[in-house]
Amino acid sequence: MAIQLIAIKGLPEVEPGADLAALICQAARAQATPLADRELLVVSQKIVSKAEGRLVDLSTVIPSPFAREIALEQKRDPRVVELILRESRRIVRMDKGLLIVETHHGFVCANAGVDLSNVGGGEVASLLPEDPDLSARKIREGIRARAGVEVGIIISDTFGRAWREGLVNVAIGVAGFRPLRSFLGMRDPQGYRLQATVQAIADELAAAADLLFGKLDRIPVAIVRGFPYEPGEGSVQELIRPPDRDLFR
Amino acid sequence: MAIQLIAIKGLPEVEPGADLAALICQAARAQATPLADRELLVVSQKIVSKAEGRLVDLSTVIPSPFAREIALEQKRDPRVVELILRESRRIVRMDKGLLIVETHHGFVCANAGVDLSNVGGGEVASLLPEDPDLSARKIREGIRARAGVEVGIIISDTFGRAWREGLVNVAIGVAGFRPLRSFLGMRDPQGYRLQATVQAIADELAAAADLLFGKLDRIPVAIVRGFPYEPGEGSVQELIRPPDRDLFR
């Protein structure tokens, strides 16, 4: 059994309004790795946000007094802090020049995913997609319409974690499959009931794709070939742990 | 650019004292995917613990009064709680029948990695390797000696996370490469200084391998082929975030 992770290269610079499904199908065909049924695609949040026009010209942002105060304390651009606050449901931690927040989607991450890098020059910030599951569904449907294949989609972003150093890529939107795989009630070869029973496959797929994404060479999409999964409806909300079940937070 | 994840099947049941490097080289050759320079191997903790004899017959464990008290409250086997406490440096959370601890290695995980499943029948618990970096180095050296190739090694286990549902596979020991890849000070194609600068590649490699491991079909080793990395000395300690830098905890 083998899984292949294939980088999709040669995508043009993505502009607001771009048809990502069309660009991905085209680029995959051009490099002779056309998409096939039951494959999965991991798509970097950056190009989804760009295609959806989730870009804000910083010169149009008027920071609130609270944003100004935090910015002063953290030595940051108050307009960026303002955007972070607008994208947030709650501040989880605020220290050492960092804002860890819970976004409106329910993700806990640094700076609410507001990003200044890789966004076509100037003073422009990119925000996370408003509804990343919907973004994923649209790409999935676009690919079905254009290439006639059923694929699973993961929109991914790199997040920090508690307890451990370094960032890892995780799923922030999914379509076409369930992001968790459950082994509840199953037994191992010795007949023992399995203890570690729910595997976050969408996050593991996102992490795997990040091995290709790199940071400098602009690879924003990867094909996962050979990973058996159960097609179906899924939502990234399944990956968000309710506070009352979360002993790690 | 493509990465291949290849399951190594056909390993025999691992017994205490087993030479894992030999078993892995043999199984890889037997399935016509012999190891090559610059590949990486992800090895499940379970077989490492077995090979190292990190197994405890529960009937030999005498629980302390504290272990008994926790066990009573959590409706668990006091001997298992005793083992968890012995493997721990500190209890992080204790609720809902779960013990989240910091192990002597510095890992924050449920039950200190003490596991009853998949360990040759009867009332036997398996513990994490005492020094997983050393375990990884030994496998690396064993493979160099037998197959004449330089590979990177990751010992992995599945951990829960804060904020998110489901378990993911992470690195608990490494050899032959640095577990973090840094982009500090680098710039993206638009000339922006990168913000997300340190990638936990060892954890992403472990997560990728878990897509093959499954839970029921006993695949404990995966080859990662085609992932460019810088060979060198590395330690899993680089993946453990010091408390004063950890805003997520």
Render pLDDT for B162-209 as a digit per residue (tens, 0 to 9): 899 999 999 999 999 999 998 877 776 666 666 658 999 999 999 999
pTM attached to this predicted model: 0.95
Q: Is B98 exposed, middle or buried (0-12, 13-18, 19+ CB in 10 A)?
A: middle
Give, rounded to a whole angstrom, the gap between the first and last alpha carbons of chain B.
36
Query: Is A89 at the interface with chain B, CB within 8 A?
Result: no
Give, rounded to a whole angstrom, the gap between the first and last alpha carbons of chain A.
36
**B142 secondary structure, DSSP code:** H
Cα A206 from Cα B231, distance rounded (Å): 24
Query: Does A192 contact B108 at a Cβ distance shorter than 8 Å?
Result: no
What does the pLDDT look like over B41-73, one tens digit per residue? 999 999 999 999 999 999 999 999 999 999 999
Q: How far is B201 from chain A (nearest CA, A)?
A: 7
Cα A175 from Cα A142, distance rounded (Å): 12
- Out of A9, A93, A118, closest to residue B188 by CB: A118
Query: Does B108 contact A166 at a Cβ distance shorter than 8 Å?
Result: no
Query: Is A210 at the interface with chain B, CB within 8 A?
Result: yes
| Residues of A whose CB is below 8 A from B240 | 163-165
Structural domains of chain A in order of their starting residue, each with its CATH number = 4-45+129-245 (3.30.1330.100), 55-125 (3.90.1660.10)
Residues sharing a CB contact under 8 Å with residue A31, sequence separation 6 or more, in sequence order: A8, A9, A10
Q: If you average pLDDT over residues B111-124, what whole number do you get?
A: 76
Q: Which of B206, B215, B212 is nearest to B236 (CA)?
A: B206
Q: Which of residues 159-198 of A touch B (CB under 8 A)?
A: 160-170, 179-180, 183, 186, 188-196, 198
Cα A205 from Cα A199, distance rounded (Å): 11
Per-10-residue mean pLDDT, chain A, length 249? 94 95 97 96 96 94 97 94 97 88 96 77 87 98 98 96 94 98 76 74 98 81 96 95 76
Contact pairs from chain A to chain B, CB under 8 Å = 243
Q: Which of B74, B51, B78, B77 is nearest to B64 (CA)?
A: B78
| Residues of A whose CB is below 8 A from B238 | 165
Cα B204 from Cα B199, distance rounded (Å): 9
Q: Which of A156, A143, A136, A149 is nearest to A233 (CA)?
A: A136
pLDDT computed for residue A139 by the predictor: 98
Q: How far is A199 from chain B (nearest CA, A)?
A: 5
Give me B153's structure tokens. Answer: 């090694």
Q: How far is A145 from chain B (nearest CA, A)?
A: 26
Q: Which of residues 112-131 of A touch B (CB under 8 A)?
A: 115-121
- Indicate if ipTM > 0.85: yes
